[in-house]
Chains A and B, each alone.
Chain A
Amino acid sequence: MHKEIRTPISNDQIKDLKAGDFVNLTGTIYTARDSAHKRMIQEINENKQIPIPLEGNIIYYMGPTPAKENQVIGSAGPTTSNRMDKFAPKLLDMGLKGMIGKGARSKAVIDSMIKNNALYFAAIGGAGALLSEHIKEVKVIAYDDLGTEAIRALKVDKLPVIVVIDRKGNNLYVSEKEKYRLDI
Chain B
Amino acid sequence: MRKINSSQITENVKEMCIEANYYLSEDIEEGIKASFKKEKSPIGRQIIGQLEENMTIAKEKKIPICQDTGMVVIFVEIGQEVLIEGDLIDDAIQEGVRKGYTEGYLRKSIVKDPLIRENTKDNTPAIIHYNMVKGDQIKLTVAPKGFGSENTSKLAMLKPSDGIDEIKTFIINTVDELGANACPPLVIGVGIGGNFEKVAYMAKKSLLRPINESSKLPHIKELEDELLIKINALGVGPQGLGGTTTALGVNIETFPTHIAGLPVAVNICCHVNRHITREI
Contacts and interface: CB of A to CB of B under 8 A. Distances in A.
Contacts of B263: none
B189 interface: no
Interface string A24-52: 00000000000100000000000000000
Given A74-B64, A176-B243, A20 B43 contact: yes
Contact of A177 (B53, B119, B236): B236
A133 B107 contact: no
Interface of A: 20, 22, 35, 62-68, 71, 74-77, 79-80, 82, 102-104, 122, 124-130, 132-133, 147-148, 160, 162, 164, 172-173, 175-184
Contacts, number: 158
Interface string B37-51: 000110100110011
A76 B240 CA distance: 20
B10 interface: no
B52 to A, nearest CB: 10
Nearest to B234: A181
A79 B40 CA distance: 26
B67 A62 contact: yes
A159 to B, nearest CB: 12
B235 A125 contact: no
Chain B interface category by residue count: 35 or more
Interface string B217-233: 00000000000011001
B4 interface: no
B244 to A, nearest CB: 6
A168 B27 CA distance: 41
B220 to A, nearest CB: 20
Contact of B67 (A74, A147, A183): A74
A102 B183 contact: yes
Given A77-B67, A102-B239, A180-B40, A126 B46 contact: no
B65 interface: yes
B53 A130 contact: yes
Contacts of A184: 229-230, 233
B130 interface: no
Given A181-B234, A184-B230, A128 B64 contact: yes
Contacts of B51: 124, 126-127
B69 interface: yes
A70 B108 CA distance: 20
Contacts of A74: 63-64, 67, 105, 107
B270 interface: yes
Interface stretch (B54-62, B87-95, B131-139, B190-198): B54-62
B181 interface: yes
A68 B63 contact: yes
B234 A125 contact: no
Contacts of A20: 43
Interface in B231-252: 233-237, 239-244
B180 interface: yes
A79 B50 CA distance: 17
B240 A103 contact: yes
Nearest to B51: A127
Given A176-B241, A176-B242, A127 B41 contact: no
Given A103-B180, A177-B234, A75 B66 contact: yes
A64 to B, nearest CB: 5
A160 B54 CA distance: 12
A183 B230 CA distance: 9
B271 interface: yes
A134 to B, nearest CB: 11
